[in-house]
Chain A
């Protein structure tokens, strides 16, 4: 949180509707994402009750387990879900684009597209993670055999959930998180977790304002929860009798239809909300770095897809080396994501201006052809003075770059009443006079920041078989066992 974000919330309270906190869209939206809304049986970790999913807003698919305690029905459900998800994965990869070979000469390709999954909230992400955990170790042969698609679903669900952990990835989006990245409401972060209330603030229905729409959204009868947890009253008064009837009639199709209809009634409002959320997000112009981050997502997808056949299920817990590698990757992604969003979006950069790590203003003086002749060879070192009202907290000597054109680099010389004096050191061309247009002229509006988009290089880690004694030595190899396959799912 920052004063800027706090102020946005106050403005939203005052306006009685949400206010923007971004001027561009910071996540990728695929042309045909798979919207997936899961419901879980109350009291269980990951027992599926139903999923509404699909890529066509007008044609959702409802998968339901008419007796959620029945193990066979659960696996049948998992197989159906797997079919839809795996079809989506295959349908969304586009063509394989050839890339220049890697340094060691291996061929590299990247799919031109990648599958995107949208769930309503972070609970949906957690559900996919657990669903992945409960299905990926299943065996397709032996006494507890399941359809081959079930463990495949488990591995894909796990992969999507793990990509969600990565800052800036758009392969699996939670609608609430994506919306909160772009709008501030006049309620608390906790209340923003309710998709209907959040949307009520951002785009209230006709005749209502944000607070009224949010209040309505908190009534589970009018707005069923967006899952995966269900409304207890619905469980007790609607679902339980319907399931009991299904049991009593020994699986009569009409009884099954009654369960499905009940669940559809709970899911449909959320289905509409998620698509509505995407409409709102799609209306925003895409941030400049979004395609670059989506390219990383496509790389990850290509790698996972191409090695799927020879791969094994993801480990239950990371080994020491895998954990350290993953943390390193996440930290790099976080740094890059934070910087990229600021460069893409003046409203995000405003946060950095407010905390003094960036400043904006008007150029008052410029010496575009200044040379530094203190060294052996003269160097082009233009200087510009920027008048700013921002609370600058950058010490002399700090390296900065231009927010509009990050290639333009410089360092702070001094900061005083006359503004900030910046000496430019890069992005000026190769000659002793700057390329035209590279040095800001008096009157130009500029913004400089100490943020950089350049990440530190990837780190070196030991191989897992070289895990040192300080971390318990090399871990045992994973060997699939019957115990995995037999693991109860009740």
Chain B
């Protein structure tokens, strides 16, 4: 029997068992690729318990303070007997959810946490340590960590589990330098890319099931952004439903909402026009759609039961910070509590309903930034129920006219999926769920 034949839980469980078995083996490192919502955090929490149960002192590396606190909360809940240390910078104020965990101790010096079975901190904090060594580390969001950061912290551990999503945005730098192109240790590349370039024998596992994405989204996202590895949804076609308490008023917004509830997707299409990035019409539509969702009293039915979708379960995503600022301003008091952020900052987050301002909407020319597949992947894979995309018409023509004269550097592996192809794949799917503005 192959993994594909198993039911989703069994398939995912088999991979997790393999990962834990590898931790007991002799590998110096283990890599786990996790597509959106595939249970990455659950794996980290389980692996932490597994290693701690074996009596190994463990360090955990996350990328942001918020991610650290999320992990602490889950580990403390899952393994209440485990002593956890939270290593932090001087300015850090532990939130209530961390203070509420009796097994957690917060300190600024590693020495003060020497008695802790598990010590958690951001990569930036770990990089300030010049001594101390842990037999095991778990590095979370390892594809979003730059390899120069791994270089700075790798001296602190002997062996490590690297977990992350290869389809999301690559790390970036504020400087443009070509001098390291083709080097296996290029500091601009992701930690996992460099790790595997030097240690090609390390086992790489793939979590096969997205528990977040509904059956309507998993195949679309998988084909567009994970064409070689693929994944499936943990729930079946009828398992999730989005319903509105209030009926629509027949506006085009309502049509888009209804389409999204019915199919999990909607493309709210504005007339073709070249516009500024902060295209007022598109910004207005994006904010209005999110507010409209909220106003119609949505209820999400899923394997977790039936729950109203409140503002904190709705997110709006955009490519640029100025767009985010404009959308926030446009939301107004009716949209209070709705998350609005850039793709970079939405990485790793999960919502019931998302509204996305398409990065290519209104552009005259597609740039590499706009075409980066990871950006669209993040934006279209945050939702449990439905994703509404706002765009001006004309993106297919824009892609069609995109000149492909990217320079090529020797020895740099070709990046897949290609942003152009991924964008086409998503657009082709969205075209089936198109609602024209101002019906």
Q: What is the interface of chain A, defined by CB distance below 8 A to chain B?
A: 165, 167, 317-321, 323-324, 326-328, 330-331, 334-335, 355-356, 393, 459-462, 466-472
Give the complex CA separation of A461 and B149 in angstroms. Answer: 9
Among B254-268, those with CB < 8 Å from A are none
In chain B, what residue has the closest Cβ to A473? B198
Q: Tell me which of B174, B175, B185 contacts A320 (CB under 8 A).
A: B185
Among B153-198, those with CB < 8 Å from A are 154-155, 160, 173-175, 177, 179-180, 183-188, 191, 194-195, 198
Q: Tell me which of B175, B184, B195 contacts A327 (CB under 8 A).
A: B175
30 contacts between A and B (CB under 8 A): A165-B179, A317-B180, A318-B179, A320-B185, A320-B187, A323-B179, A323-B183, A324-B152, A327-B148, A327-B175, A330-B175, A331-B173, A331-B174, A334-B174, A335-B174, A356-B322, A393-B321, A460-B128, A461-B151, A462-B154, A468-B150, A468-B151, A468-B154, A469-B28, A469-B154, A470-B29, A470-B150, A470-B191, A470-B199, A471-B185
Give the complex CA separation of A330 and B173 in angstroms. Answer: 10
Give the complex CA separation of A323 and B187 in angstroms. Answer: 6
Determine if B325 is an interface residue (Cβ-Cβ < 8 Å): yes
Q: Is the CB of B130 within 8 A of A472?
A: no
Q: Which chain B positions have C-beta within 8 A of A355? A: 322
Give the complex CA separation of A405 and B195 in angstroms. Answer: 46
Q: Which chain B positions have C-beta within 8 A of A317? A: 179-180, 183
Q: Is the CB of A470 within 8 A of B175?
A: no
Determine if B127 is an interface residue (Cβ-Cβ < 8 Å): yes
Q: Is the CB of B151 within 8 A of A470?
A: yes
Q: Which chain A positions have C-beta within 8 A of B147? A: 324, 471
Give the complex CA separation of A328 and B188 in angstroms. Answer: 11
Q: Given A327-B188, A356-B322: A460 and B152 within 8 A (CB)? A: yes
In chain A, what residue has the closest Cβ to B153? A468
Seed contacts A326-B179, A330-B177; 12 additional CB < 8 Å A-B pairs: A165-B179, A320-B187, A323-B148, A323-B179, A324-B152, A327-B173, A327-B175, A327-B177, A393-B322, A467-B151, A468-B155, A470-B29
Give the complex CA separation of A144 and B153 in angstroms. Answer: 44
Q: Is the CB of A470 within 8 A of B148?
A: no
Give the complex CA separation of A412 and B183 in angstroms. Answer: 44
Q: Which chain A positions have C-beta within 8 A of B199? A: 469-470
Q: Is the CB of A471 within 8 A of B194?
A: yes
A346 CB, min distance to chain B CBs, angstroms: 21
Q: Given A470-B195, A471-B198: A327 and B187 within 8 A (CB)? A: yes
Q: Is the CB of B154 within 8 A of A471?
A: yes
Give the complex CA separation of A182 and B61 in angstroms. Answer: 44
Q: Which chain A positions have C-beta within 8 A of B179? A: 165, 317-318, 323, 326
In chain B, what residue has the closest Cβ to A338? B174
Q: Is the CB of A472 within 8 A of B184?
A: yes
Q: Which chain A positions have C-beta within 8 A of B152? A: 324, 459-462
In chain B, what residue has the closest Cβ to A3? B276
Give the complex CA separation of A73 and B402 in angstroms. Answer: 48
Q: Is the CB of B155 within 8 A of A466?
A: yes
Q: Which chain B positions have C-beta within 8 A of A466? A: 155
Give the complex CA separation of A393 and B152 in angstroms. Answer: 35
Give the complex CA separation of A449 and B431 in angstroms. Answer: 43
Q: Which chain A positions have C-beta within 8 A of B194? A: 470-471
The 8 A CB mask of B278-299 against A (1 = contact, 0 = none) is 0000000000000000000000
Q: Is the CB of A471 within 8 A of B177?
A: no
Q: Given A323-B180, A324-B152, A460-B152: A469 and B174 within 8 A (CB)? A: no
Among B312-342, those with CB < 8 Å from A are 321-322, 325
Q: Which chain A positions have C-beta within 8 A of B160? A: 470
A280 CB, min distance to chain B CBs, angstroms: 27
Q: Could you say which of A320, A468, A470 has the most chain B C-beta atoms within 10 Å of its C-beta?
A: A470
Q: Which chain A positions have C-beta within 8 A of B186? A: 323
Q: Is the CB of B183 within 8 A of A324?
A: no
Give the complex CA separation of A328 and B322 in angstroms. Answer: 27
Q: Given A317-B183, A323-B187, A469-B198: A167 and B175 within 8 A (CB)? A: yes
Q: Tell me which of B128, B175, B191 contacts A334 (CB under 8 A).
A: B175
A412 CB, min distance to chain B CBs, angstroms: 13
Give the complex CA separation of A323 and B148 in angstroms. Answer: 8
Q: Which chain A positions have C-beta within 8 A of B150? A: 468, 470-471
Give the complex CA separation of A468 and B154 in angstroms. Answer: 6
Give the complex CA separation of A462 and B129 in angstroms. Answer: 11
Q: Given A327-B177, A330-B175, A472-B184: A459 and B28 within 8 A (CB)? A: no
Q: Which chain B positions have C-beta within 8 A of A165? A: 177, 179
Give the complex CA separation of A318 and B160 in angstroms. Answer: 26
B41 CB, min distance to chain A CBs, angstroms: 23
The 8 A CB mask of B393-412 against A (1 = contact, 0 = none) is 00000000000000000000
Q: Which chain B positions have C-beta within 8 A of A356? A: 322, 325
Give the complex CA separation of A328 and B147 in angstroms. Answer: 12
A402 CB, min distance to chain B CBs, angstroms: 23
Q: Which chain B positions have C-beta within 8 A of A462? A: 151-152, 154-155
Give the complex CA separation of A323 and B199 in angstroms. Answer: 19
Give the complex CA separation of A55 and B217 in angstroms. Answer: 67
Q: Which chain B positions have C-beta within 8 A of A467? A: 151
Give the complex CA separation of A422 and B325 in angstroms. Answer: 20
Give the complex CA separation of A469 and B150 in angstroms. Answer: 11
